[in-house]
Amino acid sequence: MSRKMIKLAGAVLFLIVLNVGLFSMAAIKLASFWISWIFMHIAFVIFVCIFVFSVPEQRKLKFAYSETAVAAYYFIIEMAAGFVLMGSFAFFPMVSFVIQTALLAVFLVVFFTLKKTNRSIDLREDAAKADLRQFQMILEAMRDVQSRVAYDAPYKKAIQHACDAVSGSQVRSSENVYEIEKEIWDLAGQLGQEVDAGNEERIYTVCKKIESRTAERTRRLRLEQ
């Protein structure tokens, strides 16, 4: 049996127990009872749908909780409010309706705000991962060039310095340095071609350009901090 089916079976069992408890509370079912009963089931269905059928997400932020947790809190609060309103406001159905409608409205606002926030965080995380992959590609290209240099090559130290400059730069990236990173990537490819051709003078020139553009990249990133 899949985990979803186990969760769903547990939810159905809980719903049966809940209804047995609710219908045993009072012999006469007033309007307030049915209002609370409907809102409790709305909260229960929302929670079960998110808990059982939504994509698992357990992000916990400093200012918000996961969508599943928010739905669980709403269900718990609605359960407590429903039981209280069934008893204390049995003859005031409009009061019961207004309070529970307000609870549902607050939940919906919080839930969709959190969903939007989580989506924004996902997009930023995806962008950060893409930035990291791009910078790692530059590092790998530089290391590949370095590995192709002969041990006694006169320009070995120059390539080493250029490689150290790149590897010593910040991994974190931003939109302000995308163009510079593309330049460094192109220069790394050019450096590999010059090494293969053995153009010593051009190798020194390209290495200086890589160090210069990497320093500019680092400077811009520091200004953003």
Residue by residue, DSSP assigns 77-141 as HHHHHHHHHHHHTTT-HHHHHHHHHHHHHHHHHHHHHHHHHHHHHHHHHHHHHHHHHHHHHHHHH
pLDDT confidence bin for 103, thresholds 50/70/90: very high
Using alpha carbons, list the distances in angstroms from residue 40 to 44, 52, 77, 97, 136: 6, 18, 10, 12, 52
Q: In this structure, which amino acid lies at residue 88?
A: S
Kindly report the average pLDDT of the chain as a whole number: 82
The 10s digit of each residue's pLDDT in 151-196 is 888 999 999 999 988 888 877 777 777 788 888 888 989 998 998 8
Predicted local confidence at residue 106, as pLDDT: 94
Between these two residues, 175 and 69, which has the higher pLDDT value?
A: 69
Q: Which of 143, 141, 219 is nearest to 180 (CA)?
A: 219
63 pLDDT tier (thresholds 50, 70, 90)? very low
**Sign of the C-alpha dihedral, residues 198, 203, 206, 207?**
positive
Q: Which residues contact 36 (CB under 8 A, 6 or more apart)?
A: 81, 82, 83, 85, 86, 96, 100
Q: What is the mean pLDDT of residues 89-103?
A: 88
Higher pLDDT, 132 or 39: 39
pLDDT at residue number 56: 55
Q: Per-residue pLDDT tens for 104-117?
A: 999 999 988 888 88
Both tokens assigned to 56: 């698992």
42 band by pLDDT with thresholds 50, 70 and 90: very high
Length of the chain: 225
Is pLDDT of 64 > 50?
Answer: no
pLDDT of residue 129: 62
Residue spans per domain, the chain: 3-125, 148-224
Average pLDDT over residues 123-135: 66
**Least confident segment among 43-52, 73-82, 110-119:** 110-119
Per-residue model confidence (pLDDT) at position 52: 81
Distance CA 26, CA 214 (A): 76
**In this model, does residue 88 exceed pLDDT 90?**
no
Report the Cα 93 to chain-centroid distance in Å.
42
Residues 78 and 40: beta-carbon distance below 8 Å: yes
Q: How confident is the model at residue 58 (pLDDT cuts 50, 70, 90)?
A: very low
